[in-house]
Amino acid sequence: MVKICGIGAGYVGGPTMAVIALKCPSIEVTVVDISHSRISAWNSDHLPIYEPGLQEVVQQCRGKNLFFSTDVGKHVSDADIIFVAVNTPTKSRGLGAGKAADLTYWESAARVIAETSKSNKIIIEKSTVPVRTAEAIERILTHNSNGVSFQILSNPEFLSEGTAIEDLLNPDRVLIGGRQTPEGQKAVQALKSIYAQWVPEDKIVTTNLWSSELSKLADNAFLAQRISSINAMSALCEATGAEVSEVSHALSKNSKIGSRFLNSSVGFGGSCFQKDILNLVYIAESNGLTEVANYWKQVIQMNDYQKDRFVKRVVSSMFNTISGKKIAVLGFAFKKDTSDTRKTPAIDVCKGLMRDDASLSIYDPKVSEDQILRDLAMDSVECDHPVHLQPVISPSTMKQVRIVQDAYEATKDAHGICVLTEWDEFKTLDYQRIFFSMQKPAFVFDGRNILNAGKLREIGFIVYSIGKPLDPWLRP
Ligand code: NAI
């Protein structure tokens, strides 16, 4: 039986390994992690992450050909193929701080592989890494191995949180990069044969190692760029009376542009977009390509501007002061159908509102109270290392923020509502009931453009929807 070990039981490692186990019953898959709490959660009925369909896949395979363990050395040593899906956050200190990828976790995984391997292995980069990381990893492995040979492949993951299982079962494509040597190509074929169990062959794209590594960074940069582009248009729409949803609809009908990633919002979030663009910027700068670096930097600056603009809109609409006012925050996850809050725009928006002394009442259907309080207590770099940090939550944060269990409780007696995640349940709330329970005038700031602004106005709300013509009340 072929044995696979997945290092890193996070948002990528967990679902990816579970789907391989599901689709390849003849392969034994063990997912290992240094975090005991994560592994015990994977072995329980309360998985450490929320993803539609994940629980069912894990329940079907766990204990048969899917296992979760903290014994990294043993399972690495036993495996023929090792997927490395550890976190690669932005470096928080030293050379390249704030931009370069922090490969500490990757390097320590590589060292365990080198130290414990007694047989030849294929090592697969699942984590998103800077281009030419495979070369550095190869060096660590070959300089520390005892005559064992390693073939490194790049196999970046393109799943999106919230649809991870669906994306893994029906990927647009699977990308595999390998060395152009006979051994490298043999390893590429071995990995290809695993995916071929359920992915049509024409969707499995093979490239050289560096193209594969760079394609993942480019992929995220292109997607984020579309969001920043439409968000830039949203500011222009508000200034001119154009409507951003009409503009995106018109754009989407151009087959050269297409319809995806054209929704204007309070900004993109998630663990990947910002860190991968920063990484790209750093690589461009390191290669002396200043113009390239500046081009991609602007995508992040536009995203920061969008969040900032939203906070300013809330404050200016509410008579330039939100001090002591209760503001209901609906949604904290960086998007719907996930419990992940890494780099969620809600963090920056909430912190912005807190700086103006608002009192926040936050509700999210899937994010725990503890997670929200930790996110609001951490600085933005620390947020990239969530599993390992336990920040101290200050008494002032505790005083300004309440986490509640439903939207009606969050909005009761509030002066305003900020919708920060596009959870479906927010579309069907009883807004008449909410209006009656709020202070007047009652404001809604729809950061995801999911609410029917016309109906809300009929009820009596003053409504701000990103990129839409402004309510007379909000016009300068
Ligand atoms: P994560 O933080 O959820 O999971 C990483 C896990 O690796 C953690 O549980 C951590 O404890 C573990 N780990 C770190 N060092 C280890 C070591 N030496 N040995 C064993 N376990 C170790 O991260 P996530 O979101 O799964 O991302 C992993 C990689 O995949 C990153 O490079 C990310 O950029 C990339 N990626 C993430 C996507 C996402 O949607 N989250 C999508 C595509 C790629």
Residue 244 has what pLDDT?
97
Residue 54 has what pLDDT?
98
pLDDT in tens, 39-98: 999 999 999 999 999 999 999 999 999 999 999 999 999 999 999 999 999 998 899 999
Distance 410 CA to ligand 1 centre (A): 33
**Based on the domain organization, do 267 and 333 belong to the same domain?**
yes
Residue 275 has what pLDDT?
96
Last residue of a domain, one of 199, 230, 249: 199
98 is in an annotated binding site: no
**Based on the domain organization, do 100 and 186 belong to the same domain?**
yes
**Based on the domain organization, do 418 and 283 belong to the same domain?**
yes
**Based on the domain organization, do 176 and 226 belong to the same domain?**
no
314 is in an annotated binding site: no
Distance 9 CA to ligand 1 centre (A): 7
287 is in an annotated binding site: no
Distance 220 CA to ligand 1 centre (A): 16
Check: complex ipTM more than 0.95? yes
Average pLDDT in the chain: 95
**Based on the domain organization, do 249 and 176 belong to the same domain?**
no
Q: How far apart are CA 415 and CA 461, in angstroms?
A: 10
Annotated catalytic, 418? no
The domain in which residue 36 lies consists of: 2-199
- Binding pocket residue ranges, ligand 1, CB within 6 Å: 7-13, 32-35, 38, 72, 85-88, 105, 108-109, 127-128, 157, 159, 161, 271-272, 387
**Domain presence at residue 233:** yes
**Based on the domain organization, do 131 and 268 belong to the same domain?**
no
pLDDT in tens, 3-20: 999 999 999 999 999 999
**Based on the domain organization, do 310 and 415 belong to the same domain?**
yes
Is pLDDT larger for residue 166 or for residue 380? Answer: 166
Residue 385 has what pLDDT?
52
**Domain presence at residue 215:** no
pLDDT in tens, 268-284: 999 999 999 999 999 99
Q: What percentage of the chain carries pLDDT values higher than 90? A: 92
pLDDT confidence band for 381 (50 / 70 / 90)? low
**Based on the domain organization, do 232 and 177 belong to the same domain?**
no
Q: Which of 33, 84, 213 to mutate to test the pocket of ligand 1 (most atoms within 8 A of CB)?
A: 33
pLDDT confidence band for 390 (50 / 70 / 90)? low
pLDDT in tens, 90-144: 998 899 999 999 999 999 999 999 999 999 999 999 999 999 999 999 999 988 7
**Domain presence at residue 425:** yes
pLDDT confidence band for 24 (50 / 70 / 90)? very high
Nearest CA to ligand 1 atom 32: 127
Distance 424 CA to ligand 1 centre (A): 28
127 is in an annotated binding site: yes
The CATH number assigned to the domain holding 365 equals 3.40.50.720
**Domain presence at residue 80:** yes
Find the catalytic residue in 237, 272, 383, 418. Answer: 272
**Domain presence at residue 167:** yes
Mean pLDDT of 296-315: 98
237 is in an annotated binding site: no
Q: Which of 42, 160, 271 to mutate to test the pocket of ligand 1 (most atoms within 8 A of CB)?
A: 271
Residue 382 has what pLDDT?
56
Distance 106 CA to ligand 1 centre (A): 9
Tokens 């159908």, residue? 337
Last residue of a domain, one of 165, 199, 233: 199
**Based on the domain organization, do 152 and 247 belong to the same domain?**
no
Atom of ligand 1 nearest to the CA of 8: 7
Task: Provide the number of structural domains found in the chain.
Answer: 2
Last residue of a domain, one of 199, 234, 255: 199
pLDDT in tens, 405-462: 999 999 999 999 999 999 999 999 999 999 999 999 999 999 999 999 999 999 999 9
**Based on the domain organization, do 247 and 195 belong to the same domain?**
no
Nearest CA to ligand 1 atom 3: 10
Distance 181 CA to ligand 1 centre (A): 29
161 is in an annotated binding site: yes
Residue 144 has what pLDDT?
77
Nearest CA to ligand 1 atom 12: 8
**Based on the domain organization, do 229 and 125 belong to the same domain?**
no
Q: How far apart are CA 22 and CA 173, in angstroms?
A: 19
Q: Which of 5, 7, 12, 43 to mutate to test the pocket of ligand 1 (most atoms within 8 A of CB)?
A: 12
**Based on the domain organization, do 254 and 379 belong to the same domain?**
yes
**Domain presence at residue 211:** no
pLDDT in tens, 349-369: 999 999 999 999 999 999 999
Residue 389 has what pLDDT?
54
**Domain presence at residue 204:** no
**Domain presence at residue 206:** no
